[in-house]
Amino acid sequence: MKKVLVIVLCAFLLFIAGCGEQEESKPEPSEQKTTVDKDIPKQDSKDEQNQGIIKEPELPGAVLAMVDNYWKARPQSGLDKADLVYEIIAESGITRYMGIFYHEKADKIGPIRSARYYFVQLAKGYDSPLAHAGGSTEALNMLVSLKIKDLDEIYNASTFYWRDKNRKMPHNLYTSTERLIKGAKNKGYALVPLIGLPQGTKWQGDLQEKLCVDYSVGTYDYKVYWEYKENRYERKINDNPHLMDDGTPIKADNIVVITVKTKDIVKDGIVLSDVDIIGEGESCYFIDGKMMKGSWVKKSAGSSINFMDQYGSPMKFKIGKTWVQVIPSINKLILE
């Protein structure tokens, strides 16, 4: 009788152990959910960046450059290599670019022009060396007060630039990412990585494959067009494709349009723009042929500019290149 009881007890214990093993082998519901990373873009394009592959940076740290956009300065060089480009009115409807380079080298960047104080405030938020040629009085003072990693061709870094003899001054000053990295190291500036924008894969918004940003003032006609084609946005200035001097067209993966308080001021007989880049305002995002609305905020010169969706959460972007069009009024954004 005792022998029978022992056999029954052993069988029961084996059954319980087996049940326990089966239960432990089942993944928890939360584990099943984490097997799909919704923040990794789908690989649905031959373009490396559109495949969701984050390229290793070719530079040891990010560098910034002020690039001329007067009509005599076109075609420019290097803007197609920038991770991020800001376009803001500098004077009388004429815009200027600040390109941020990190993932791709650029053998020629320019024409390099002067800085404005609101670009200096933007640069401070990235804590990276800024390439420029002089600047407005406010900008030059702010470069010092904000302790910008300054690479000024006029005052302290001329050896890291060159003049193209085939173009006329002042639209013939150039540099390269290699020279800017050398300049930064020569001055003992710490090189820091570009902190990328938050990334996503799916966007819900209104279908909007074309947009126009109108910077025209008086008789000066200047309109920027972006059109979504083959998974990217192609850029035009007025009716012409925006090409670099080597024939490369400007394309982007994300277009951001933000409204910033702007007014004209007269300094030394020149009409300059006064732009409140520290503050907040409306924003529109164009990604994957869709438009979404939201807001932006930059709390101080030293803080980053943050882009939010309509719910106040950080906006997520497609991996790739981003252009930020800064306008004084949402009426300057024309949807076609």
pLDDT of residue 11 exceeding 50 = no
Q: Are residues 307 and 234 in the same domain?
A: yes
Q: How confident is the model at residue 270 (pLDDT cuts 50, 70, 90)?
A: low
| The predicted structure's pLDDT at residue 59 | 98
pLDDT of residue 200 exceeding 70 = yes
| The predicted structure's pLDDT at residue 9 | 41
| The predicted structure's pLDDT at residue 40 | 34
CATH number at residue 221: 3.50.90.10
More confident residue, 272 or 109: 109
Question: Look-up: residue for tokens 């003899």?
Answer: 165
How much of the chain, in percent, has pLDDT values that exceed 70?
A: 83
Question: Is there a domain that residue 284 lies in?
Answer: yes
Q: How far apart are CA 237 and CA 216, in angstroms?
A: 12
Helix (H, G, I), strand (E, B) or coil at 318: coil
Q: Are residues 167 and 214 in the same domain?
A: no
Mean pLDDT of 255-276: 83
* Neighbour tally for 84: CB within 10 Å: 22
Question: Is there a domain that residue 268 lies in?
Answer: yes
| The predicted structure's pLDDT at residue 92 | 79
* Neighbour tally for 102: CB within 10 Å: 27
| The predicted structure's pLDDT at residue 25 | 31
Q: Are residues 95 and 131 in the same domain?
A: yes
177 lies in which domain range? 63-186
Q: Are residues 169 and 131 in the same domain?
A: yes
Question: Is there a domain that residue 57 lies in?
Answer: no
Number of domains in the chain: 2
pLDDT of residue 19 exceeding 80 = no
| The predicted structure's pLDDT at residue 12 | 41
What is the chain's mean pLDDT, rounded?
86
Residue 247: C-alpha distances to residues 7, 23, 250 (Å):
86, 63, 9
Return phi, psi of residue 219, to 5°: -85, -5
pLDDT of residue 331 exceeding 80 = yes
| The predicted structure's pLDDT at residue 26 | 30
| Pick from 109-118, 136-145, 260-269: least confident | 260-269
Mean pLDDT of 308-333: 96
| Pick from 2-16, 21-35, 242-256, 300-314: least confident | 21-35
More confident residue, 114 or 9: 114
Output the CA angle 111-67-261, nearest 5 degrees: 150
Q: Are residues 224 and 166 in the same domain?
A: no
Q: Are residues 212 and 331 in the same domain?
A: yes
Q: Are residues 166 and 215 in the same domain?
A: no
Give kind and range of the element (H or E) at residue 181.
helix 177-186
Question: Is there a domain that residue 154 lies in?
Answer: yes
More confident residue, 134 or 271: 134
Q: Are residues 212 and 324 in the same domain?
A: yes
| The predicted structure's pLDDT at residue 265 | 75
Q: Are residues 160 and 97 in the same domain?
A: yes
Q: Are residues 241 and 295 in the same domain?
A: yes
More confident residue, 102 or 13: 102
Q: How confident is the model at residue 52 (pLDDT cuts 50, 70, 90)?
A: low
pLDDT of residue 60 exceeding 60 = yes
Q: Are residues 246 and 134 in the same domain?
A: no
pLDDT of residue 44 exceeding 50 = no
Domain end, chosen from 155, 186, 217, is at 186
Q: How confident is the model at residue 269 (pLDDT cuts 50, 70, 90)?
A: low
Question: Is there a domain that residue 329 lies in?
Answer: yes
Q: Are residues 73 and 179 in the same domain?
A: yes
Mean pLDDT of 309-321: 97
Q: How far apart are CA 164 and CA 161, in angstroms?
A: 10
Question: Is there a domain that residue 2 lies in?
Answer: no
Q: Say what the pTM is.
A: 0.84
pLDDT of residue 166 exceeding 50 = yes
Question: Is there a domain that residue 289 lies in?
Answer: yes
Domain end, chosen from 186, 216, 235, is at 186
Q: How far apart are CA 260 and CA 277, in angstroms?
A: 6
Question: Is there a domain that residue 13 lies in?
Answer: no
Mean pLDDT of 291-298: 98
Domain end, chosen from 139, 155, 186, is at 186
- Write out pLDDT tens, residues 105-122: 999 999 999 999 999 999
